[in-house]
Every structure is written in structure tokens, then in C-alpha cells.
Structure 1
Amino acid sequence: MSSQLSAPRFDPTAVPDRDLSAGLATAGYRSAKYSPGEWMANNSATLHRALADQLDAQRIHRASRALSAEVEAGTLGAQSRGTKLLGSRLQDVHSRRTELERGVERLSAETELLLGQKRRLEKALLTTDIPLTISTDNLGCRERRFGPDLVQDRVEEELLKEVELIRNVQALLKKTLQQAVDQIRLNREAKQTLELDWSDKHEAYGLDDQCGRYGNRSTDTQHHPSSARMHDQRCDEDAWLNFTQANLAEAERQRECSVSLRLLCDRVLQETAEDLRAQSSVVDQSFSQRCLELSQAKSQLELQLSRVLEQIGAQERNISTLQQAVYDKEAPLRVAQSRLHYRAQRPNMELCRDQPQISLLSELEEISSSVGVLQQQLCEARGSLAQLEDSRLMLEKDISCKTHSLLIDRDKCMTHRTRYPTVLALSGY
């Protein structure tokens, strides 16, 4: 029984028995077969190898499951951390983007206010041409005065001050306007920088948001083998934060400069308008005072002219009276001269120096003396009349001069100055 169960063994060195009854006819078949022992050994080895392979496969399967679980957990953990970091990054980008939006809005609002001040400066600068035209026209009109009224009076001095003040105001407004233009340019450059930074962050937010939405079940993902080698990082996170903070700080600095400049513009506009109106009031007062002086001088000249005219009339009548008195002495003079002429024809001893002769000579001398005195008085009266006529001409000329000066100062200059701009107009409103 034991011999039946024992495994056959194959010995390749065994020599076949030549004396067996099988004979030579069976020798070829025997050489190609294993022994039962060899078969059993081979079968046992196969079983052992299969069992070892099974055990090794089970071990590898358990290790694979553990490794798969570990890898899955690590992958999920890494993916979860990446998603969490992306979410945190989205919050940071959103926070910085919100700050940039507020910076852009604040800078835009300030730039609009500064643009309003710029328009006021331009309007005020254009308005100053009106008072400059008025002042220069006043000076030109007053150059047409003549005679003694062509004087450098207080009105002319104040007008020259006004012209100089207007030119200084124009220079100051131009300088302030240029500062406003430069500041507006700087505001817009800072705003553009913020907008570019905001645009980059908006695009980055969209990309990170898209990345955060990717999951293992997403259908729009694909392989990018070289993606890890494509990144050429320009900065780290601190540099990224500092870049935005620097842009915001520069924008805030420009906004503060714009606020200061806007307040300066408002102060310049207000003060220049007040200075121009104050000087205009001084000029108007000077004109009023000058016109009052001219009116008073004209009234005095007219009063004096009326008196001179009266004196001229009286002197003309006096001359007529003197001429008549001289003429009235002609007859007595002829009588006295005739008497002396004929008495000089008395003959011989009758031609004596008697009382009538003495009386006639005295009469003739008295009449001649009276006529001489009357002639002298008549000459003085005529001289006085000539002087009165000269005074009349001088007074009439001076009155005409004063009338012309009043026409220039009161009717032209002061009327023209009624179109002087108001404080609001000079302030750019």
C-alpha cells in the first residue's frame, strides 16, 4: 500500500535492462518519459511556487491597497490644502482688489473736483481780460486830455497799479493753472497704475477662482506635463503685497497733493478776485473824487467867466463913456483955440497979455490936459479890456478843457467801468 502511494522518481542516469522481456522494440518509448518520483517532485514544486505566488500576490495586494489609500489620502489632502490656499488667496486678491477699487474711486472723485477748479481757473483767467481792457482803455482815453488837465493825477496812478495788479493776477492764475494741469496728469497716471493693478488682480482672481472650482470630477481638466516647468515667478508674496501697497500709497499721496492744490486754487481765486475788486473800488473812488474836483473847478471857472464877462461889458461901456468925454472936449478945445487964434490978430499995442488972454491960455491948457488924462484913461481901459478878453479866452479854454476831461472821466471811463466783472465772475463761477 505504501509502495502504491509513493511518488515515482526519475533517475536520468539509470541504464535500461537489456534482459527485459520487452525487448529492443520498447527502448524508444522509455527514453522520453519521467519517473513517477520526478513527476511528484515537479508537481510539488509547482504547487509550492503557485502558493508562494499567491501569498506574494496577497501581500502586494494588501500593500497596494494600503499604498492606494495612503496616496489617495495624501492626494486628497494636498488637493484640499491647495483648494484652501486658493480660497485664502482669492480672499487676499479680493481684499487688495477692493482696496484698489476704493483708491480708484477716491482718486477719480478728487480728479473731477480738481478738474472743476481747473475750469474755474480758466474762466477766471479769461475774465481778467475784461478789467485789463477796461483799465488800458481808461488810460488811453485819459491820454486824450489836453492843456493843464493832462496831469498824472491819483486816478492815473491807481489805474497803473490796477493794470500791474491784473497782470500779476494773470501770471499767478496761469502758474496755478499749470500746476493743476500737471497734478491732473499725475492723478490720471496714478489712477491708470491702480487700474492696471486692479485689472491684473481681476484676471488673477478669475484664474484662481477657476482653479479652485476644478475637482476630480471636472470634465474640462486635461494633462499639462510641462506645467510645473513653465512657471517663471516674477516675485514672492511679500513683493506682491508691497507692490500693491506702494501703488495705493502713491495714489493716496497724489490725492492729498491734489486736495492741497485744490484748496490753494480756491484761495488764489478768492484772494485775487477780492484784490481786483478792492483795487477797482479805489480806482472808482479816485475817479469820483477827480470828477468832483473837475466839476468844482469848472463851476468856479464859469463863475469867474461870468464876472469877467460883466467886467468886459462894464469896461466897454466905460470906454464908450471915455471916448464920448474926449469927443465932448473937441468943441471947447476948438473954441479956445479959435479965440486965441483970432486974438493973436489984434493990431499993435492991442496985442497985450490981458486977463482974457491969460484965461484963454489956462483954459486951453486945462482942456488939453483933460484930453490927455482922458486919452490916458482910455488907453488903460482898452488895455484892461484886452486883458479881460484874454482872461475870457483863457477861462473859456480852461472850461472847455474841464468839460472835455469830465466827458472822458465821467461819461466814458466811469461808464465803461460799470462793466467791471463781479467777485463771482472773477472767482471763476
Structure 2
Amino acid sequence: MSSEFLASRPQFDSRAVAHGVSVEKEPAGLQPSAGSATAGYRSAKYTPGEWHSNCRAILHQAALDGDEARRIQRDSKSLYQITEAATQRTQAEGTRMLGETLQDIHLWRSELQRHIEQLQTDTDALMALKLRLEKALDATEIPFAIATDNLNCRAQRPGPDLVRDTVEEELLKEVDLIRSVQALLKSTRDQVVIQIKINREAKLTLELDWSDKYEAYKFDDHSGRLNNMSPDTKLHPSSATLQEQVSNRPSWTKFTHDNLSKAIQAEEATNNLRMLVERVLLETTEDLRAQRSSVDQAFSQRCEELIEARTNLELLHTQTLEQIGAQERNIVALLQAIHNKEAPLRVAQSRLYLRSIRPNMELCRDEPQLSLEGEVRQIDATVESLRQQLCEARGSLSRLEESRMAIEKDVKCKNHSLFIERDKCMAQRKRYPTMTTLSGY
């Protein structure tokens, strides 16, 4: 070792060093060497006073550190107890709020389920009503075809019977009524189709909301069952940050409330539409039934009129035939009477001729002559009157024959009209749909 004096080293507080603060102590002064023999061994050594001072400093610092440690331990225990109680309270509050949220979700989900089922029931009822409307609409085609065919058949009636009577007016009313009923049924069916679409959209919205709440219920239910001893918990630091585009409690409640409000509106509209459809089907069926009765009654009355007219014509035809026979016999009698006047006329004229050739003064206009002349004039006048009467009788017979032919023609016309009215039109109207069919069943 060098015999030269070594530089004295600084002193460091071990506590300060432990705290990371460097505390340099200046040397208390170099002590002179005890002798040359100790040269090189005295450098950087402490004195006993320094040693005792250092020991006291260490003991004092240790005492301070112990007090600080005990204080920190007391504070740590108190903080641990406070934080533990706060954590337990917070966890219990979170569990309680999760339970309340589960109850709310369950209530909303139950309400959604109830309205989903109600919408499904309403939609099924509307589908049944739509089918009834289509069946009722199809059923009106038969009455329309019957009414139009009746009009076409009655257009083939013979001229004298081709009249715009009550039957035709009622048939035209029936055609117009059926057309208006068909238009009403079509518009009502379109309303039902639109409402079915609205119900399905509302039901889909509720089902999506119900599905979201079902998933949320499972997550919240699992979250509520977690505790400090659950093995499937792990740290998710980013989950505690506020996420963007998330709903709050009022918007969450409003969303479901709005969906339910739309569903309730759809249910109310469905109920109103169902009552409307039932009323439309009932009223249209009653209107068609009433008009059918009016047409049938008009047909029956018309057939009675035709039968009565035909009966009167047949009776008149019989009387006309009797008149024709009597008139023919009268003509024969008149001809015989005229023929019977020829002999007396020949006698009278022969007498006058013979007396006209009397000679000289015998050719006298005496009483016999005057009587014969009067007889001839009388026979001529009688024959003339008989011939005139014969002419009138023949004219009357001709007119009777014309009347007979007209009556026979009119009887055939009435028979043909009666065939159209009763055997074709009324028989065809028996195919008229029943009231149940017209109601869509």
C-alpha cells in the first residue's frame, strides 16, 4: 500500500440513500497521525464520537421509520376496511340494480310477447277475413252472370212483349248493385291487405326488440350471478370506458314504448277494420238478398200477368171461333135467302112480261099490273138488302179471322214470353248463391 495519505471519503446517510437522496458529510477534520508507524492506516477512519453519533442516528432513524411504518399500517388497514366495505356496497348495489333491470326486462319482454301474440292472432283473423272477402267476391260472379243472362234472355221476347217492365228495372238495379258490391268488396280487401302488412311489420319490430331483450336478459342474468369466487371472471380494462352510440335509460324505455304504441295502434286499427269487414259482408249480403227477393217477386208478378193475359186470350179465342162459326152460318143463310128470292122474282117478272104483250087496250096498268110492279121492286130491294148484309157478314168474317190469327199469334207470344220468364229466367235464378256463400263462408 502506498505510504501516501489517502483522501478522506465522504460519509453518507444510509436512510437518505434508501430514499434516493445523496447527503454528503464533510470530514470533521484530519487528525494528525500518531506516528510514522501508523502512516497509511489512519486515512478515512472515524473517531469514537463519530461512531456513537452514527449509531444514535441510525437508532433514531429506525425509530422514526418504525413509527412511520406503524402509521402506514394503521392507515392501510383503515383504508382496506373502508375500500372493502365500499367495494362490497358497490357490488351489492350493482347486483341489486342488475336485478331491477332484469325485472324491467322481464316485464317489457312479457309485454312484447303478449302484443306479438295479439298481433299474430289479429293477422290470422285478418287473413281469414281476406279469404272471406275473396270468396264473397267470387260468389257475386254467379248473381251477376244470372242477372245479365236474364236481361239477354228477356231481350229475345217477341215484339209485343218486349217492354221495359218492372222486372227489367229490378234486374238493372240488381246489376248495378252487384257491381257496387264488388267494388266495395275489392276496396275492403285492399284495406285488409294493407293492414296485414302493417301488422306484420309491427310484429317483426316487436320480435326484434324481444330478441334483443332476450339476449340482454341472459347477459344481465349471468352478470348478476357472478361473484368474487366465480371462476369465469377476468379483467376487461376497456369495458369500463364509456362506449359511443349507446342508449341511455330514457331512450331505452322510449324505444320499447314507441314499439308497443305502434303495435297497439295496429291492434286498434285491426279491430276497427274487422268490425268494418263484418258490417260490409252483412250489409252487402242483405242488400243482395233484398234485391234478389224484389227481382223474384217482379218475375212472379210478371208470370201471373202473362198467365192471366194468356187465359183471357184463350177465352177470347174460343169466343172468336164461336163468332166465326156463327158468322159462317149467317153467310150461308144469307146466300140461301138471296137464292130463295130468285123464284119469286122470276114469277113476278114472268107475269109482267106476259102481261106486257097483252093486245091493244088490254095493255092496261090495272091493279094487278101495279101489284106485280110493286112486287118486283120489293123483291129487288130485298135482294139488295140481303146482298148488302151478306157483304157486311163477309167483312165481319174476315175481321174475325184476322182477330183469330192475331189472338193465336199473341197467345204464342205469351207462351214464348212465359217460357223465357218462368222456364229460363226463374229456373236459372234458382242457382242464386245462398246467403252463407255470399257472406264468404
Q: Which residue of 1 aligns with 2:7?
A: none
Q: Which residue of 1 aligns with 2:13?
A: none
Distance 2:327 2:358 in 1: 47
Distance 2:95 2:386 in 1: 138
TM-score, structure 1 as length reference? 0.87
Q: Which residue of 2 aligns with 1:147?
A: 159
Matched position secondary structure for 1:16: coil
Q: 1:55 deviation in Å?
A: 3.8
> Is 1:16 matched with 2:33?
yes
Q: Deviations over 1:292-341 (max 9, x none)?
A: 11111100100100110111122122222322333344455455545555
Map 1:17-416 onto structure 2 (within 5 A). Answer: 17-18=34-35, 24-232=36-244, 234-334=246-346, 336-337=348-349, 340-341=352-353, 344=356, 351-353=363-365, 357-358=369-370, 360-416=372-428
Q: 1:47 deviation in Å?
A: 4.0
Q: 1:284 deviation in Å?
A: 1.2
1:11–1:283 CA distance, 2 compared to 1 (3 A)? closer
Distance 1:26 1:215 in 2: 75
Q: Deviations over 1:116-175 (max 9, x none)?
A: 222222222221222222222222222222233222222222222222322332233233
Q: 1:178 deviation in Å?
A: 2.8
Q: Counterpart of 2:149 in structure 1: which amino acid?
A: D
Q: Which residue of 2 aligns with 1:5?
A: none
Contact persistence 1:11–1:35 (CA under 8 A): no
Distance 1:153 1:195 in 2: 63
Greater shift after overlay, 321-330 or 381-390?
321-330
Q: 1:281 deviation in Å?
A: 1.2
Q: Which residue of 2 aligns with 1:419?
A: 431
CA RMSD of aligned residues (A): 2.6
Distance 2:416 2:33 in 1: 170
Structure 2 stretches of 5 or more lacking a match? 1-26
Contact persistence 1:344–1:351 (CA under 8 A): yes
Contact persistence 1:135–1:163 (CA under 8 A): yes
Distance 1:29 1:152 in 2: 157
Q: 1:92 deviation in Å?
A: 0.8
Q: 1:12 deviation in Å?
A: 4.3
Q: Counterpart of 1:319 in structure 2: which amino acid?
A: I
Q: 1:277 deviation in Å?
A: 1.0
Distance 2:28 2:90 in 1: 63
Contact persistence 1:319–1:381 (CA under 8 A): yes
Q: Deviations over 1:321-364 (max 9, x none)?
A: 32233334445545554555566556656655466655554444
Distance 2:182 2:225 in 1: 63
Q: 1:395 deviation in Å?
A: 0.8
Greater shift after overlay, 54-63 or 371-380?
54-63
Q: 1:51 deviation in Å?
A: 4.2
Contact persistence 1:326–1:374 (CA under 8 A): yes
Greater shift after overlay, 355-364 or 61-70?
355-364
Q: Which residue of 1 aligns with 2:8?
A: none
Structure 1 stretches of 5 or more lacking a match? 1-9, 19-23
